[in-house]
Amino acid sequence: MAKFIKVAKLKDLPPGSRKLIEVDGLVVALFNLDGRICAIEDMCTHDGGPLAEGEIVRPGVIACPRHGAEFDICTGAALTLPAVEPARTFTVKVEKETVYIERPFA
């Protein structure tokens, strides 16, 4: 059974925003994509760059600020070179205005 951990209040993550958190030693970026909350490890699989510093180039897609590799924020899929491996994502649930993510090492 998945173990979830409280990571944010929904009011602190308004639509269009992002927030970095640390969970079990990993830096995770939370995104509010027009009401859909997604969590992705803050690391480009191409060179370890900080994904959360990247630009959202189209809905649900972020480009790594170092070399422009694009990732689907919610699935982690690597969409363009130079990245070929997906980024790690985490299951998110929102209950009573609180955001939880599945623990990375549960």
**CATH superfamily ID and name for 4-102:** Rieske [2Fe-2S] iron-sulphur domain (2.102.10.10)
Q: How far apart are CA 68 and CA 9, in angstroms?
A: 31
The whole-number pLDDT of residue 69 equals: 97
Q: Say which residue the tokens 């009401």 belong to.
A: 35
Query: Cβ of 4: how many Cβ atoms within 10 Å?
Result: 17
The whole-number pLDDT of residue 105 equals: 73
pLDDT tens per residue, the chain (106 residues)? 579 999 999 999 999 999 999 998 999 999 999 999 999 999 999 999 999 999 999 999 999 999 999 999 999 999 999 999 999 999 999 999 999 999 887 5
Structural domain boundaries in the chain: 4-102
The whole-number pLDDT of residue 1 equals: 58
The whole-number pLDDT of residue 24 equals: 86
